[in-house]
Amino acid sequence: MAILHNLGFPRIGASRELKFALESYWQGQTGSDDLLATAAKLRERHWQLQSGLDWQPVGDFSLYDQMLDMSVTLGNLPARALGGKDLDSYFRAARGRAPDDSDCQCKHAAEMTKWFDTNYHYLVPELDANSQFALYPARLLGELGEAKVQGARPKAVIIGPVTYLYLSKTKDGSDALDLLPRLLPVYQQLLDRLAATSLEWLQIDEPALACDLDEDWQQAFIDSYRTLEKHGPKKLLCSYFGPLLENFTLAAELPVDGLHIDCVSQPEEGRREAVALATALPPERILSLGVINGRNIWKTDLLPLLDWLEPLSQQLGDRLWLAPSCSLLHVPYSLEEETQLDGELKSWLAFAVEKLTELQTVGAALNRGRSSVSHALQSNTEALARRRHSNRVHKPEVQAAVNGIHRGLGNRQSPFADRAEQQRRLLQLPRFPTTTIGSFPQTADIRQFRLRYKRGELSEQQYRQYMQQEIAYCIAEQEALGLDVLVHGEAERNDMVEYFGQQLDGYAFSQYGWVQSYGSRCVKPPILFGDISRPSAMTVEWSCFAQSLTDKPMKGMLTGPVTILNWSFVRDDQPRRDSCYQLALAIRQEVLDLEAAGIRIIQIDEAALREGLPLRRAQRQEYLDWAVESFRIAANGVRDDTQIHTHMCYSEFNDIIDSIARMDADVITIETSRSELELLDAFDDFNYPNDIGPGVYDIHSPNVPSSEAIVSLMRKAAEKLPAERLWINPDCGLKTRGWKEVLAALQNMVSAAHQLRAG
């Protein structure tokens, strides 16, 4: 009998209950009791939904982030966050402040970065050579208690010691691995405590196994699992986000009770590893196969999967466990409420709840025979056949355009130095030009208006008028502040990817397909299902209206092809590269239309370029080549005196700085303030050739940076880069912030620019 389980369930709630509970708690509108009650209700509902599985995950829920939870469990919150109630310390670590903190008590929030190659952001654990750990198991033990009361069969979930250290950052340059001997005793204690609760299985997530591991990290795996061998419940070691590849033997030989591997990210390697493990694992160990893709929203092709699984099931019996490839955190909750999705497209999709149903269908087919689920199998096969042959998916003219892409398409007419000269003459900007990244605060009013328009409660004309008013307001504020390059504020955009997807052919939209991005922030990735084309201009009207209100240059604002790709659910029936080129051609048309309409500066955001980077080094260059080429195709068809900006955020760029340079944007603005300008280290070895604006205002925190702090950050930057190539800007868009703090921060930013210009 194949055993069914799940690695994790989306925690935000069918109607984003967690988001709203968090935000109202942070704003002081509700108390901690309300927040915790909502959280408990969500857990209960989610365990119920998973009750058809043999094991339900417990501990996958989080009020903010699972890495932060692990930091709490290990007693590793930054000292500056501690004080008051536990929940205060928790949110202070996450966001820089707790609801009751007065303004002056703000601390800087922990650094946030992408969780492997996903669009989820975790809070980076902070370590130094003196870090001490201590066990705080209350959250996990409490949730296990809840699960038992509710009749679940709990499998506890934690992040393993190696991945925890692997994703940490030491503030003093020491080696995180030196802390392993100090960390493992706390894991031992945790495992012992869990064993004492009569818990049978513990899922230990070690996705670091899907990365290239140097010898010392491999050794850390061996040391860790030997040290933990005699402790705790049975251990299921989980690797996901890719095959094991050269970590195969390492993983197979670790002394644990079961191993979970990802069989779908790279299906050939994954399946090969599964077959090899079925023979290689000692007979008492279980093998868990991630066979339902936890990263996409497509139905699984069940018949070929069963063809492959049946012999393994024969061979392994109840040593075979089946699950989604990774936590379902990365897919939306359920298709059930999606009444507006086109029926045919919907029949091709599976969200979290449906993925669990697929898993149960697979389980039933293996355990009770295919005939026991013949209806489900047949409708699955039919839906996928329709998708394969649909002319809504396959459009010959788009494929012909992609085939027509040639080398020259991505080249600017002249080298940067010549262009920069022409742009200087045209734009007449001061030294240290100031600008913002695009969005201004999205007030409740704005969101309300967009919603009413979407619901058909407002006429096109009313909506336009309102948006124009917002743009006018935003421009007046920017002029009053004295910013040099203005933006229209993006009030019309709900989301920087969805906005474009909505206007492109080949995209579809869910109503409730929310996926957690970080904390209470969710995104609703559009679904790229078919060949892409742009029926008409997408942003030209707003940008031109905005430009008509000011003499300052107005930045046109687009999302780049790589980011649209990486923040969408994309096709699994063609290489990502091909989808990206299709997007690049569509954005190129928009860029040229903006230029023709008189917009002199165009920013093409590639916030997500870095996150598409494959986890394995050997696969990176190929990705970077087509990603950079896609940006170049989109951006570089313009005249020399049109200034192209790009913007990137949230992650480490140092290792891809040469690819970023190859994009050849005239100006890049980049997130750095959370990592305290660490990014600039990259410029020690690499001479970045074009203009750059290192973000000097951390927009993830409500704190207002002082002008002295900004001046000092910029002076640091000017030690590495020529001052005449530096811009001053926040590190990302301002849409989540309030006007009051934004105005205060930008005021300080502009005044910092004045100080810098003065000497």
Under the rule (CB under 6 A), what is the footprint of ligand GLN? Answer: 437-439, 490, 496, 557, 605, 607, 647, 649, 732-733, 735
Q: Which amino acid is at 90?
A: Y
Tokens of 553: 């240059």
Range 127-166, binding Zn ion (CB under 5 A): none
Q: Considering the rule CB under 5 A, would residue 668 count as an interface residue with Zn ion?
A: no
Instruction: Give yes or no for a contact between 96 and 108, defined as CB atoms under 8 angstroms apart.
Output: yes
Residue carrying structure tokens 């930057």: 717
Among the listed residues 231, 647, 700, 754, the single catalytic one is 700
Report in angstroms how near the CB of residue 86 gets to ligand GLN at its nearest.
31
Pick between residue 12 and residue 496 the one whose CB is nearest to ligand GLN.
Answer: 496
Pick between residue 599 and residue 732 the one whose CB is nearest to ligand GLN.
Answer: 732
Pick between residue 358 and residue 611 the one whose CB is nearest to ligand GLN.
Answer: 611
Instruction: Give yes or no for a contact between 500 and 559, defined as CB atoms under 8 angstroms apart.
Output: yes
Stretch that binds Zn ion, among 150-158, 259-267, 546-554, 724-732 (CB under 5 A): 724-732
Residues 657, 670: Cα–Cα separation, whole Å: 12
Pick between residue 233 and residue 733 the one whose CB is nearest to ligand GLN.
Answer: 733
700 is catalytic: yes
Stretch that binds Zn ion, among 339-347, 350-358, 538-546, 649-657 (CB under 5 A): 649-657
Number of residues binding to Zn ion, judged by CB under 5 A = 3
Contact of residue 439 among ligand GLN, Zn ion, none (CB under 5-8 Å per partner type): ligand GLN
Report in angstroms how near the CB of residue 420 gets to ligand GLN at its nearest.
23
Pick between residue 384 and residue 710 the one whose CB is nearest to Zn ion.
Answer: 710
Pick between residue 66 and residue 442 the one whose CB is nearest to Zn ion.
Answer: 442
Residues 350, 187: Cα–Cα separation, whole Å: 36
Contact of residue 6 among ligand GLN, Zn ion, none (CB under 5-8 Å per partner type): none
Report in angstroms how near the CB of residue 669 gets to ligand GLN at its nearest.
9
| Residue 703 three-state SS | coil
Report in angstroms how near the CB of residue 209 gets to Zn ion at its nearest.
30
Identified binder of Zn ion from the candidate list 732, 734, 749, 752, rule CB under 5 A: 732
Pick between residue 362 and residue 746 the one whose CB is nearest to Zn ion.
Answer: 746
**Chain centroid to CA 25: how far?**
24
Pick between residue 206 and residue 731 the one whose CB is nearest to Zn ion.
Answer: 731
Contact of residue 438 among ligand GLN, Zn ion, none (CB under 5-8 Å per partner type): ligand GLN
Cα dist from 593 to 406, 536, 568, 678, 682, whole Å: 21, 10, 24, 37, 35
Residues 248, 209: Cα–Cα separation, whole Å: 9
Residues in contact with 127: Cβ distance below 8 Å, sequence separation at least 6, in sequence order = 76, 165, 168, 169, 170, 171, 174, 176, 179
Contact of residue 109 among Zn ion, ligand GLN, none (CB under 5-8 Å per partner type): none
Tokens of 541: 């009207």
Residues 345, 193: Cα–Cα separation, whole Å: 48
Q: Considering the rule CB under 5 A, would residue 649 count as an interface residue with Zn ion?
A: yes
Contact of residue 496 among ligand GLN, Zn ion, none (CB under 5-8 Å per partner type): ligand GLN
Cα dist from 362 to 291, 302, 357, whole Å: 10, 7, 9
Say how many residues make up the chain: 759
Report in angstroms how near the CB of residue 241 gets to ligand GLN at its nearest.
22
Instruction: Give yes or no for a contact between 30 and 24, defined as CB atoms under 8 angstroms apart.
Output: yes
Report in angstroms how near the CB of residue 671 gets to ligand GLN at its nearest.
8
**Chain centroid to CA 416: how far?**
32
End-to-end Cα, the chain, rounded Å? 75
* Strand-pair partners of 292: 324
Report in angstroms how near the CB of residue 231 gets to ligand GLN at its nearest.
42
Q: What is the DSSP string of 517-545?
A: EETTEEE---EEEEEEE--S-SSHHHHHH
Contact of residue 475 among Zn ion, ligand GLN, none (CB under 5-8 Å per partner type): none
Contact of residue 158 among Zn ion, ligand GLN, none (CB under 5-8 Å per partner type): none
Instruction: Give yes or no for a contact between 545 and 599, defined as CB atoms under 8 angstroms apart.
Output: no
Residues 643, 423: Cα–Cα separation, whole Å: 7
| Residue 281 three-state SS | coil
Pick between residue 126 and residue 731 the one whose CB is nearest to Zn ion.
Answer: 731
Report in angstroms how near the CB of residue 113 gets to Zn ion at its nearest.
13
Q: Considering the rule CB under 5 A, would residue 112 count as an interface residue with Zn ion?
A: no
Tokens of 146: 């809840």
Residues 660, 689: Cα–Cα separation, whole Å: 10
Query: What beta strand segments (E) does 263-319 contain?
Result: 286-292
Contact of residue 10 among Zn ion, ligand GLN, none (CB under 5-8 Å per partner type): none
Range 588-647, binding Zn ion (CB under 5 A): 607
Report in angstroms how near the CB of residue 118 gets to ligand GLN at its nearest.
15
Report in angstroms how near the CB of residue 733 gets to ligand GLN at its nearest.
2
Enclosing H/E stretch for 663: helix 657-663
Instruction: Give yes or no for a contact between 106 and 671, defined as CB atoms under 8 angstroms apart.
Output: no
Of the candidates 240, 261, 221, the one whose C-alpha atom is nearest the C-alpha of residue 120 is 240
Pick between residue 147 and residue 599 the one whose CB is nearest to ligand GLN.
Answer: 599
Closest residue to ligand GLN in the complex (CB): 733
Q: What is the DSSP string of 384-422?
A: HHHHHH-TTT--HHHHHHHHT--GGGG--SS-HHHHHHH
Cα dist from 545 to 465, 528, 700, whole Å: 11, 30, 30
Residues 349, 569: Cα–Cα separation, whole Å: 11
Interface with Zn ion (CB under 5 A): 607, 649, 732
Residue positions annotated with a catalytic role = 700
